[in-house]
Amino acid sequence: MLRPRWGLLALCALLLGAPGAPAKDNVRDARALAERIDRYLALRWERDQVTPAALADDSEFLRRVYLDLVGRIPLTSEVRRFLKDSSPDKRPRLIETLLKEQSYATHMTHVWRALLLPETDSNDQLRYLQPGLETWLRKQFAENAGYDKIVRQIVTLPFGNSPNGMQAYYQEMNDQSTGSPVAFYMAKEGKPENLAATTARLFLGARLECAQCHDHPFARWKREQFWGLASFFAGLQRQRGDFYGPITELSDRREMTIPGTDRVVQANFLDGSEPRWKYKVGSRVTLADWMTSPDNPYFARAAANRLWAHFFGTGIVEPVDDFNDENKPSHPELLDDMAREFAAHDFDLKFLIRAITSTKAYQLTSAASDPSQESPRQFARMAVKGLTPEQLYDSLVNATGYRDMTPANQRIYDMQSPRAVFVSKFSTQEKRTEYQTSIPQALALMNSQLIADVTSLQRSELLGAVAESPFLETPDKVEALFLAALSRKPRAEEAERLVKYVNDGGATKDKKKALADVFWALLNSPEFILNH
C-alpha cells in the first residue's frame, strides 16, 4: 500500500492554490471585467434606444489615453510609431506600457494631491505643503500600493503627544526621498470636523457637511452621525491657532460634545454599526479597519466611481462624492461589479484602470453622431474634458521641446520654477466637463513668456528645427506641427488652407513667421487645451 506523500501534497497546494481559489490574473481579469462593463452599457443603450458613437480613430485614442494615464500628450515619435503599428492588439499593449511608465505615478500624484489638498488652489501659503505630500504620493503610486493601504496610511498617520514631537513630521513633510501625508492634516487645521467631512467625501462618497449643524435636509445623514465620525479624530489637537501650529495626539479620545449642545456623541461608523474596540488600538486605526474592509458598503464603490469619473468625465454616481438615497447610480449593477472586483483584487488601482480603459465605451469618439448620445450618463460617446494645470504644462513641454532648466529633483520644491509659475495661474476644476478659462488664464496661453518662447523661431527647439529643415516641404512642416501639438495629421481641408497660408508668407510675407503663426494657433486651439 502506497503511503501518501503529505509534504509533497502540501507543497503542490501552495504552488497551485487551494481548490475553489484560482490564482488571480489581473490582466485577464481586468479584460473580463471590461467586457462585462460593455455589456451593462449595451443593455442600457438597447433599452433606451441609444445609438453609441463610433470608435475613436488611433490618433484620438492615443492622445486621450496618454493624457488620462500619464498626464501628457505623446511625443511626435510616439505618435508616428503608434499610427504605423498595424497589429490588432496595439491598444491594450499601449495601456500596459503606459501603466509601467514613471510618469503614470507622477500623473496620479497630481490627481490625488488636488483631491487631498484643494486648499492650495486658493491659498499660496498652503501651496508649500504640496511637495512633501507629492513626494509621498509618488512613492505609493510608483510601488503600486493598494488603494486601501494608501488611505490607511493617511487616516492612521501617527502623531506624537508633545509639540516638540512634531518636528520629525515637518522634516518628513519636506524630505525629498519619503515625504509624508501630514499636509492633509495641516490643511484641515487638525480639526476633527474638517477631517471627518473630508474623509467622508473623499473615501466614502458621502457629503456630511450639511449634517454638521443639523440633520441633512435631503440625505439620511443625521447630525449625530457626523459628529460620531468626527469623534474618531477627537484626540487630535493643534497647539496654536496659526498655520504652523503643531498637531499632537494627546489622548485617544472617542467622543465629542456636539457644539452648542450638551449632547455627547460616541465614535460610530456611518453604516450604523458600533466599533469593536481593541486593547491599545487607537480610534483612527479602528476607523481605518472599518473603512478599508472589502465588506465596507461605501469604500470600494466610492473609489470605483471616482476612477470612472476620472476617465469618463462623469461618475456613475454624480456628483462623485454624493452617494445618497436620492442620488441613485445610473448603472448600479456596473458600479457594484467594479467595486466587487476592485476589492477582490486587493484594491489594485492599475487593475481597475486597466479594466476601464480596455472597454469599448472608453474608446468611443467624442464626436456626436446621434441625438441619443446627448446625455453624459449614457456614456454613449466620450466626454470632452478640460486639462488639469499639470497636464497643460507637460503637454506644452512635449509639443514644443521646451527645456525647463530647473533640476528635475527640485521642480516640485521650487515655487518659482517655470512649471510652478505656470501651474499657479490655473486651478483644478472639480467638474472637468464644464471647463472654463479665466481671462488671466487665456492671456497666459496666448502671450505669456512661456508661449512666446515656444513659438519663437529663435528660441523654440522644435519650431526652429521644422522651419529650418532643408528636407521638409511646406506640407511636411505643417504635418510635423500637427503631430506635435494635436497628435494627428491635418485633414485635407486643413492642410490645403494652412499650406497656402505658409507659402504666401502670412501677414508678414515671411514663410517661417507664417509657420510660427500656425504653431501658435494650434497651441491655443480648443483641440489642444481639451482632452477629447
pLDDT value of residue 405: 66
The residue-averaged pLDDT of 180-208 equals: 94
Say yes or no to pLDDT of 177 above 80: no
What are the two backbone dihedrals, phi and then psi, of residue 238, each rounded to the nearest 5 degrees?
A: -100, 130
Are 467 and 347 within 8 A, CB to CB?
Answer: no
The pLDDT tens digits for 41-75 are: 999 999 999 999 999 999 999 999 999 999 999 99
Instruction: Please give the sequence-ordered ranges of beta strands (E in DSSP) within 74-221, or none if there are none.
Output: none
| 78 in Cβ contact with 72 (< 8 Å) | no
Q: Which DSSP helix (H) or strand (E) runs through 255?
A: strand 255-257
Of 246-250, 338-342, 439-443, the poorest mean pLDDT is in 439-443
Tell me, what's the pLDDT at 429? 63
Lowest mean pLDDT among 189-198, 248-257, 276-285, 348-357: 248-257
pLDDT beyond 80 at 229: yes
Q: Over 60: is that where the pLDDT of 376 sits?
A: yes
Question: What values do phi and psi take at 385, rounded to 5?
Answer: -120, 145
Residue 483 has pLDDT above 80, yes or no: yes
pLDDT in the model for residue 160 = 72
* Distance, CA of 350 to CA of 172 (rounded, Å): 27
Q: Return the pLDDT at 439.
A: 64
**Three cell numbers written together for 87:** 497589429
CA distance 429 to 355: 26
Cα–Cα separations (whole angstroms), residue 91 to 34, 354, 397: 14, 11, 25
Q: Which residue has the cell 471590461?
A: 34
Mean pLDDT check: name the lowest of 71-75, 214-218, 380-384.
214-218
User: Which pLDDT value is given to residue 425?
Assistant: 77
Quote the pLDDT of residue 311.
98
CA pair distance 228, 39, nearest whole angstrom: 41
For residue 222, give every residue at least 6 positions away whose Cβ sits within 8 Å of its Cβ, in sequence order, or none.
211, 215, 216
3-state secondary structure of 531: strand
pLDDT of residue 202: 97
Q: Which region among 109-123, 261-275, 444-458 has the lowest average model confidence (pLDDT)?
A: 444-458
pLDDT in tens, 31-42: 999 999 999 999
Residue 59 CA, chain-centre distance (Å), reads: 22
Q: What is the pLDDT of residues 266-312, one digit of tens each?
A: 999 999 888 999 998 999 999 999 999 999 999 999 999 999 999 99
In the structure grid, which three cell numbers stand for residue 6, read together?
503529505
User: Does residue 6 carry a pLDDT above 50?
Assistant: no
Q: pLDDT category, 417, cuts 50, 70, 90?
A: confident
pLDDT at residue 349 greater than cutoff 50: yes
Statement: residue 418 has pLDDT above 90: no
Q: What's residue 129's pLDDT?
A: 81
Reported as a pLDDT band with limits 50, 70 and 90, residue 165 is very low
pLDDT of residue 8: 40
Return the minimum-mean-pLDDT range out of 20-24, 408-412, 499-503: 20-24
- Stronger pLDDT, 128 or 313, i.e. the higher one: 313
Joined together, the cell numbers standing for residue 346 give 486587493
Q: Identify the H or E element spanning 529.
A: helix 526-529
Q: Which pLDDT value is given to residue 413? A: 56
Quick one: average pLDDT of 244-255?
Answer: 81
> For the residues of 380-391, what is the DSSP string, one character each?
-SPPPEEPPHHH
Q: Specify burial of residue 132 (Cβ count, 10 A radius: 0-12, 13-18, 19+).
A: buried
Q: What cell does 25 get? A: 490574473
Share the mean pLDDT of the chain: 88
pLDDT tier, 330 (very low <50, low <70, confident <90, very high otherwise): very high
pLDDT of residue 4: 43
